[in-house]
A and B are shown apart, each in its own frame.
Chain A
Amino acid sequence: MFEKLNELSFVIGVFFIIISLILMAGYFLSPTLHYEINLYTGIGMMVFGIVMVKIKG
């Protein structure tokens, strides 16, 4: 796990997964964040984040 931190793609992927979780969790849990654009952007960033985590770079 700690070895993966040396891979930039992994770090970037984790960053976008965290941001997407904030947006998506906010959409479902908070009226302040309940906007479709938050949900769709969150899904897009989650997909991008997972791809970056999976690829080796």
Chain B
Amino acid sequence: MVYFNGINRTIAMRLHLADYLIIFVYFLFVIAVGFIIKKRIKSSNDFLNSNRSIPLWITSIAFISANLGAQEVLGMVASGAKYGIMTVHFYWVGAIFAMVFLGVFMMPFYYGSKARSVPEYLSMRFDEKTRALNAITFAVMTVFSSGISLYALAKLLEVILHWDFDLCIWLAAGIVMVYTFLGGLTSAVYNEVLQFFLIVLGLSPLVIVALHDAGGWSSIQANLQPELTHAWKYMDKAENNPLGVNFMSLIFGLGFVMSFGYWCTDFLVVQRAMIAKNMSEAQRTPIIAAIPKIFMPLIVVLPGIIAIALMQPALQSKGYAIPMDENGGINYTMTLPSMIAHYYPTGLLGVGITALIASFMSGMAGNVTAFNSVFTYDIYQSYFVKNKSDDHYLTVGKLITLFGILFSIATAYIAASFNNINDFLQLVFSFVNGPLFATFLLGMFWKRTTGHGAFWGLMIGTMAAAATHGLTIAEGKGGWIAPLFEIGSGMGQAFIVAAFSWIANFFSTIVVSLCTKPKPDEELRGLVYSLTEKVYAHETKWYLRAGPLGLILLAITIALNIIFF
């Protein structure tokens, strides 16, 4: 079968009229969604919270799509090429269990408390200083993440299509600004659903033709070293696998601390479940979202494995290779763009490029809408201007959206000027996110936890993360206090930093809580597990309940881990 003519095509792609037409149609639709939603926006609650009126299938897809930004798509394909099938741990260990836990155990508190945001839940459960700490760090992180996403999009389009960097920045930001300004969160969520289908349907043909080209999974297994095609078999010792971590670090660092810290506490994703129509649908949102999440490695990990297999001697005749970087090493980040360039002809190339653009814009819009909710409710309304009319907060929400986009653009230019700022910001984010789940776990399941305990636990956990990073070194990074311990890989270092920060937060929160006065029980009803009415039987049919659905998903996840052991 002939898929294309240019077998020696380089990474530089040349678009034709049909490709541009597809990109144009996509831009037209995302803006049109903003205009369609605009007439529904009557209050700040509509703009910032979608008035809790979004159907289950939309909240579920938006939940997974909010995480399907460019870092996910490009990064996971790159990791698939670098680490092989072990990359699926980010899904089958580092996502599904936490998503089920969120749906079954934590959503009743987020949704039932009627909090409009995760920081607002913290103010109800603990106090204002804990809320302020979480809201400010979250707002800063989201707006910087949005800017980095924008920078990465412009840089990618500049490299592969030779488009003007400035034009890419302003065009992408402008489109996101139009539809988020017009339709707020609902508009962003609706576009996330469109973007999800575009990414899945746009990249599926790539997986099929590339897998066919490589001779199928059995050929890939035959041509790759075994540690790239077994998920667990070589996890006994860190030095035996390309991830550079053993199974204990993986399960605790990724599977517990990082995974639960992200999926169960990050407002960017939790917000998608909090806008569901009712408690039952809010609980099922992350669980329904976990279904495509289980199979997402087929779209974002398998292409990377295929790519590295195609570079093996027996398959080199296929004419594909991942591009090299300036140092002569494999430039894993360019794995997906290079595969699109290699396998997609005119027409489908436009679809593939649009899918990439969609993933960047999805990531940016998700960050901006989460940012404007937290900034408006948890910073502006809570600490600056209280008790104003709803129209006032609607106007502020819209202005904050504009501010968030402009700040993202500024961040993108800062990122373009300082090579290391991305790494630095990611590092700071990991220091803040690592310990967060301990605060929520104790807050929701131990009524003795106090506001002082939560606040100082977060501070100490963050400091522990920074100290662990400063005392360990991996791949030349870290060790800025004293390089006392060497770790096999940066990934392993990230897991260990997360683990130490979580442990420090967990125990310091307990100690400080035991030394301070807790809130009375009547103030904690609906916020703490032992003081909240259980909501097991909202639905009579078992397949509509979060618990049984979650158990089925866990069984499938465990089965997949065994199959690809």
- Cα–Cα, bound, A10→B32 (Å): 13
A53 nearest CB across to chain B (Å): 13
B18 touches A33 (CB 8 A): yes
B4 touches A35 (CB 8 A): yes
Which chain B residue lies CB-closest to A34? B345
Given contact pairs A19-B25, A37-B209, A11 touches B347 in the complex (Cβ within 8 A): no
- Cα–Cα, bound, A19→B350 (Å): 10
The reply to whether the CB of B100 lies closer than 8 angstroms to some CB of chain A is no
A8 touches B58 (CB 8 A): yes
- Cα–Cα, bound, A17→B348 (Å): 14
B36 touches A11 (CB 8 A): yes
Contacting residues, chain A, for B201 (C-beta < 8 A) = 16, 41, 44-45, 48
Interface majority SS (helix, strand, loop, mixed), chain B? helix
The reply to whether the CB of B190 lies closer than 8 angstroms to some CB of chain A is yes
A18 nearest CB across to chain B (Å): 6
Contacting residues, chain A, for B555 (C-beta < 8 A) = none
- Cα–Cα, bound, A53→B26 (Å): 17
Name the residue among B16, B343, B348, B350 with the largest chain A CB count within 10 angstroms. Answer: B348
Contacting residues, chain A, for B344 (C-beta < 8 A) = 37
A36 nearest CB across to chain B (Å): 7
- Cα–Cα, bound, A11→B205 (Å): 23
A5 touches B3 (CB 8 A): no
**B18 touches which of A11, A15, A22 (Cβ 8 Å):** A22
- Cα–Cα, bound, A44→B207 (Å): 15
A37 touches B33 (CB 8 A): no
Contacting residues, chain A, for B90 (C-beta < 8 A) = none
A-B contact count (CB 8 A): 83
The reply to whether the CB of B485 lies closer than 8 angstroms to some CB of chain A is no
**A19 touches which of B1, B32, B351 (Cβ 8 Å):** B351
Given contact pairs A8-B190, A32-B16, A36-B3, A15 touches B346 in the complex (Cβ within 8 A): no
- Per-residue 0/1 for B2-44: is the Cβ within 8 Å of any A Cβ (1 yes, 0 no)? 1110000000000010100110011001001100100000000
Given contact pairs A6-B36, A48-B201, A12 touches B348 in the complex (Cβ within 8 A): no
- Per-residue 0/1 for B164-193: is the Cβ within 8 Å of any A Cβ (1 yes, 0 no)? 000000000000000000000000001001
Interface size range of chain B in the complex: 20 to 34
Contacting residues, chain A, for B190 (C-beta < 8 A) = 8, 11
B18 touches A5 (CB 8 A): no
B347 touches A12 (CB 8 A): no
Contacting residues, chain A, for B55 (C-beta < 8 A) = 57
Interface size range of chain A in the complex: 20 to 34
B186 nearest CB across to chain A (Å): 10
The reply to whether the CB of B105 lies closer than 8 angstroms to some CB of chain A is no
A52 nearest CB across to chain B (Å): 8
- Cα–Cα, bound, A8→B21 (Å): 22
Which chain A residue lies CB-closest to B36? A5
Name the residue among A19, A22, A32 with the largest chain B CB count within 10 angstroms. Answer: A19
Contacting residues, chain A, for B232 (C-beta < 8 A) = none
- Cα–Cα, bound, A6→B350 (Å): 27
- Cα–Cα, bound, A22→B373 (Å): 39
- Cα–Cα, bound, A33→B29 (Å): 23
- Cα–Cα, bound, A30→B348 (Å): 14
Contacting residues, chain B, for A23 (C-beta < 8 A) = 18, 347-348, 351
The reply to whether the CB of B57 lies closer than 8 angstroms to some CB of chain A is yes
Contacting residues, chain B, for A48 (C-beta < 8 A) = 197, 201
**A37 touches which of B3, B32, B57, B197 (Cβ 8 Å):** B3
Which chain A residue lies CB-closest to B5? A35
- Cα–Cα, bound, A16→B199 (Å): 12
B4 nearest CB across to chain A (Å): 6
Contacting residues, chain B, for A35 (C-beta < 8 A) = 2-4, 345-348
The reply to whether the CB of B465 lies closer than 8 angstroms to some CB of chain A is no
Given contact pairs A16-B197, A19-B22, A37 touches B346 in the complex (Cβ within 8 A): no
**B25 touches which of A18, A44, A57 (Cβ 8 Å):** A18
Contacting residues, chain A, for B301 (C-beta < 8 A) = none
Which chain A residue lies CB-closest to B17? A32
B386 nearest CB across to chain A (Å): 35
Which chain B residue lies CB-closest to A15? B29
**Residues 55 to 97 of chain B near chain A (Cβ within 8 Å):** 55, 57-58
- Cα–Cα, bound, A7→B175 (Å): 21
B126 nearest CB across to chain A (Å): 37
Given contact pairs A5-B36, A12-B194, A16-B201, A37 touches B345 in the complex (Cβ within 8 A): yes
**A11 touches which of B16, B21, B194, B348 (Cβ 8 Å):** B194
A15 touches B194 (CB 8 A): yes
B57 touches A26 (CB 8 A): no
- Cα–Cα, bound, A28→B455 (Å): 65
Enumerate 7 A-B pairs (CB-CB under 8 Å) in ascending A order.
Answer: A12-B194, A19-B25, A33-B345, A35-B4, A37-B343, A44-B204, A57-B57
Known: A22-B350, A37-B345. 16 other contacts (CB 8 A): A8-B58, A8-B190, A11-B190, A11-B194, A15-B29, A23-B18, A32-B16, A32-B18, A35-B2, A35-B347, A35-B348, A37-B205, A37-B348, A44-B201, A44-B204, A57-B58
